Amino acid sequence: MRHVEKLGGAGLCLLSLLGGQLLVIYLLQAQLTQAIFSRPEFLYLRVLPGLVWPLVAAWLFSAWQARRHPGVTALPFGYSLGLATLLTSGLMVPMYQQAIAKMPPEAACSLTWSACVALTLLVGLCQILLAPFAHRLTFSLSLPLCLGLGAAVAIQSLTGLMPWMQEHPLLLVAGLVPVIAYLVVGLPRPFGLSTGWLVLGMGLAAQIFSGTSFEVPDFHSTLLANWQLDWIEEGLQFLWLRTEFLTVALPVLVTALVRDLVLLRETQAYPNAPAARNSLLGIGCINVLGACLGCGLPLGVLPGYLGYRRWGGGQFYCQGAGLLLVVFSLLGGFGQVFAWVPLPTLGVVLSALLLSSAGVSINQVRPPQGMLLASCWLPFLASPGNGPPLLLGLIWGGIAVSVQTERFSRGALVALVGSVLTATGMLHRNFWEPDFDPLAGTYLLLAILLRVGHVAPVVQPPPQQPAEEAPIDSSENPGRPVFDSPGDSPSVEGVAPEPPR
């Protein structure tokens, strides 16, 4: 029975990982097709292979890493929907609009995507360079702070999916009913089927009934990886010469690195977790390889590790998802197979896993650390997007942790980092624009005050002397010593008590 439950949990983990990443790819290609790419064959033959094969490599690497240690849950690697939206709206659309006025559409598409390929290469190289210091960097971060930020990132990913999922109410209900009935309430499953198979079956039935399909460009051929080294050179040269786009790419790069470190620190709270150094080194190498194949979206750690552990995913879900994606890509007709995947229903499974992970993270944060949670979550609630809120939550939460633990020197260092990031424009403007404005001065003043609080001697009140106990009045008990004890009046021993009158 336990094996069946574990297999059912692994199936849910597989559906959430595979469905979530297919959903990201579908939304990305739909947005790119609408805003940038005019020729579908360019998207299918050059962009999609660069997205699919690095993702397969990341999943198989994660499964191999977890398989080395029995009982270890594989790290979820993949593409972030928030990062994809930020790249599309902040980098690709303005670049395409500027390029289309000077060159043909095909060349403008190639130039726009090449800049994202160059950014993916830079992210991979930075991950490789940071890998030897991953253990020190992750453990220098506070665990409650990373738990709070990890929960906020999971909820933000969920809110990014909800507007599109609400456009398909029938498929949404088809996913909600089995998840609530069999996963939350715990009703008996018909025929002993796992919850994952029931969710997938109801989603397929609802999709067939409604006649809905999710199409991507399909040329009835296999998705074969192609080397796109010319994109790297073209993108690096363009970003270097066009500083206005480089100023957008640098905050995205910093955000991707910080996000990976925060989520890796969250995983290190559990025994036998995959080593942060190996994880960062492996995903960095895969990003470099993906850039050579034409991948324009950096791979990183996904939120939801605590949910995968709770559902009993192990390493099967990463291995199964990778092999299934290989089969879809090599058998041909990728677009036709993709069209009948119930993406909104699988998005419900992913949302349930993200909620489960966020709940586990929040429950591990102790009640006295309410100021910490408020500092972590306020930037996510105040400003949309996936860029500044993560850095803001890290800075504010770091200051809150330092103040709560009375480590004012570390709080001053965090505030000084916040002043530098604000002066460069990455913290509050999400744009590399050096300007020491009053907000940066506020962080600097806060750093000075915290440093003074660390250096200034703390005046301790003089210790109070314990009050002397007043001697017992012997007049109340005549004939008895003041400090009466058996040793004080040995003559009393053996005397019978006086009978009551």
User: What local confidence, expressed as pLDDT, does residue 215 receive?
Assistant: 86
pLDDT of residue 51: 95
Output 397 or 71, whichever has higher pLDDT: 397
Average pLDDT over residues 478-497: 42
C-alpha distance from residue 18 to each of 22, 85, 342 (Å):
6, 19, 12
Compute φ and ψ for 188, nearest 5 degrees: -65, 135
Q: Cβ–Cβ contacts within 10 Å for residue 310, how many?
A: 17
Number of H helices, E strands in the chain: 21, 2
Percent of the chain with pLDDT over 90: 47
Is the CB of residue 152 less than 8 Å from the CB of residue 323? Answer: no
User: What pLDDT, on a 0 to 100 scale, did the predictor assign at position 344?
Assistant: 95
Residue 283 pLDDT class (50, 70, 90 cuts): very high
- Return the pLDDT at 479: 46
Out of 39-43, 150-154, 308-312, 472-476, pick the least confident. Answer: 472-476
Give the C-alpha separation, 28 to 85, whole Å: 8
Can you tell me the mean pLDDT for 380-388? 68
Give the mean pLDDT of 352-381.
88
Does residue 472 surpass a pLDDT of 80?
Answer: no
pLDDT greater than 50 at residue 488: no
* pLDDT confidence of residue 41: 84
- Is the confidence at residue 463, as pLDDT, over 70? no
Phi, psi values for residue 300, rounded to 5° = -160, -175
- Pick 90 or 13 by higher pLDDT: 13
* pLDDT tens profile 10-53: 789 999 999 999 999 999 988 888 888 778 888 888 899 999 99
Q: How many other β-carbons are positioned within 10 Å of the β-carbon of residue 493? A: 7
The CB density around residue 230, as the number of other CB atoms within 10 Å, is 12
SS (H, E, C) 76-104: CEECCHHHHHHHHHHHHHHHHHHHCCCCC
Task: Please give the DSSP secondary-structure letter assigned to residue 498.
Answer: P
Token look-up 């408020």 returns 374
pLDDT at 228 over 50: yes
What is the rounded distance in angstroms from the CA atom of residue 326 to the CA atom of residue 345? 22
Instruction: Work out the percent of the chain whose per-residue pLDDT is above 70.
Output: 88
Summary mean pLDDT of the chain: 85
The confidence score (pLDDT) of residue 406 equals 83
How much is the pLDDT for 492? 40
71-97: average pLDDT: 90
What's the pLDDT at 15?
93
470 pLDDT higher than 60:
no
Has residue 221 got a pLDDT over 80?
yes
Query: What distances in angstroms separate CA 261 from CA 7, 157, 321, one per listed residue?
Result: 30, 17, 24
Q: Tell me the pLDDT tens digit for each residue of 316-332.
A: 999 999 999 999 899 88
Q: Check whether 7 has a pLDDT greater than 80.
A: no
pLDDT (mean) for 226-247: 88
25-29, 114-118, 334-338: which has the minimum mean pLDDT? Answer: 334-338
